[in-house]
Amino acid sequence: MANEPILQGHPLYKQFKEEIEDAKILLNNEAIKATTAETKPFNYYSNEEYSKLFQMDDKNIKSIRNNGGHYSSAVIEKAIDGDLKTYWETNRGNSQDFVNEVEVEFKEAVEVNRIIYGARPSDNKGFAEEFEVHGSKTSKGDTYQLVSTGKHKMVSGLVEAKFKPTTLKRVKFKFKKSNQNWATLSELTFYKKDVIADQIDDLFTDGLMNELKPEYASKSKMEQLEREIANHPLKKELQVKLDIAKNILDSDNDGNEAIVVASQRGDPSVTAQAHQIARTSFSLDTFGRYAALGETIQVFVDADKNGVMPNLVLRQIAHKDGWRRYPLQPGLNTITAPSLEQMGTSAIYVENRALPSEQAFASRVRLVGGTSFPVYYHGKTDPVQFKKELEKYFKKLVPMIMILQTANRRTLSTMLQSLFPKTIRLQLAPPVHYKG
């Protein structure tokens, strides 16, 4: 405003400064272009170094309020107390004519890139499965604009909702769809953009993380990123992805991997009954690989972030507790196979409990690690070639079997189970996996 220098000398300037700032913003009439939020679990809330760099200081919160009251002692202030064990809980459920919302006003306008939220920790009741973020650049008045929409399946802990960085004075978080039509918050906090981490997450063309985007496909770019992450609080996590990128650039691929396009057969209990097929194997797609005891494998997922996500399954038929199921997230997942006491060596599968209508596209999953074994696909595998693969595979086993023959029966049984999954031993006579 042209007359603001004159106004600053007025004795009531401080009293009306906020209104003057609001008037300037309204004159600019800047529209906010809404975006779809990218959501994922957030695991760095307790990382003090990271929070110091990127989290908005809670002291900048001027006020917090909501439109649904609070149940018992779970007041709204507990959503910003920094304690994940406490929580706010509404006193009114969502309905056709009511949507729970929480409004936060800042003392000073800040650029917000990420909102971190979580439901009450005991059972996740009231988790925001679909939400809207509305923002205002002014301190007063009905000047809210839609900033972002997003969704995330119910999880324990915190979720990060990332959208285009936007300078805001007030924020409304709306529970458009929530668990049990309720609303709770263990914490609601605000983070600015992490430029370096965003670059690392942007290295690859898709979630399989086996191809670099052209702008990153040079050694000079890799060296630049190496320098930039050197002092980052999340250097260890970022270095893992950067090393994968460097290996791609160096064409350092030892072939120890497999890619599966997950079948979209839906819920195995429902669909298997219709086809009269055993539910336990109906939804599984094999990698043709097994994980040794305690082996750490990398699993990369390219999937519809808003659809049903696949699981990784480790299966050992001979063991009393012969199943392990690991929910997968887009991008890199690092999984360590159980020890002998827990399970035994296991064949590795993808489980996809989704129909085509529940995913924009079929999930693709890349496994790096494990050991390959022959698999026969009915109608696809050449029997002659498969026989050769079996003979070659058996020759690899002979030296180990000869060593084991010197052990007593009990030790032999234990060691066989630890070295070769029962699934493989059954499949060798011969293994048949039906697809389709």
For residues 325 and 312, is the Cβ–Cβ distance under 8 A? yes
In sequence order, what are the beta bridge partners of 167?
111
User: Cα-flanking dihedrals φ and ψ of residue 79, to 5°?
Assistant: -80, -10
**How many C-beta neighbours within 10 Å does residue 18 have?**
13
For residues 353 and 267, is the Cβ–Cβ distance under 8 A? yes
pLDDT value at position 269? 79
In sequence order, what are the beta bridge partners of 17?
none
pLDDT value at position 6? 57
- The three-state secondary structure class of 18 is helix
What's the rounded Cα separation, in Å, for the pair 196 and 284? 37
- The three-state secondary structure class of 245 is helix
What's the rounded Cα separation, in Å, for the pair 238 and 203? 11
For residues 244 and 211, is the Cβ–Cβ distance under 8 A? no
What's the rounded Cα separation, in Å, for the pair 166 and 426? 58
Burial of 121 (0-12, 13-18, 19+ CB in 10 A): middle
CA–CA distances in Å: residue 100 to residues 75, 114, 119, 213, 240: 14, 20, 14, 41, 40
Mean pLDDT per 10-residue run, the chain (436 residues)?
Answer: 56 56 58 93 96 96 98 98 97 97 97 98 97 95 95 94 97 98 98 97 96 96 96 96 94 82 87 69 86 92 92 76 85 89 81 93 96 89 90 78 56 52 42 34
Length of the chain: 436
For residues 79 and 64, is the Cβ–Cβ distance under 8 A? yes
In sequence order, what are the beta bridge partners of 104?
64, 171
What's the rounded Cα separation, in Å, for the pair 206 and 213? 9
pLDDT value at position 42? 96
Domain 259-427 in CATH 3.30.420.40: no
pLDDT value at position 427? 43
Question: What is the CATH class of 31-193?
Answer: mainly beta
pLDDT value at position 430? 34
pLDDT value at position 425? 42
Distance of CA 427 to the CA centre of its chain: 34
For residues 351 and 313, is the Cβ–Cβ distance under 8 A? yes
pLDDT value at position 27? 52
Where are the domains positioned within the chain? 31-193, 198-249, 259-427
Helix (H) or strand (E) holding 416: helix 409-419
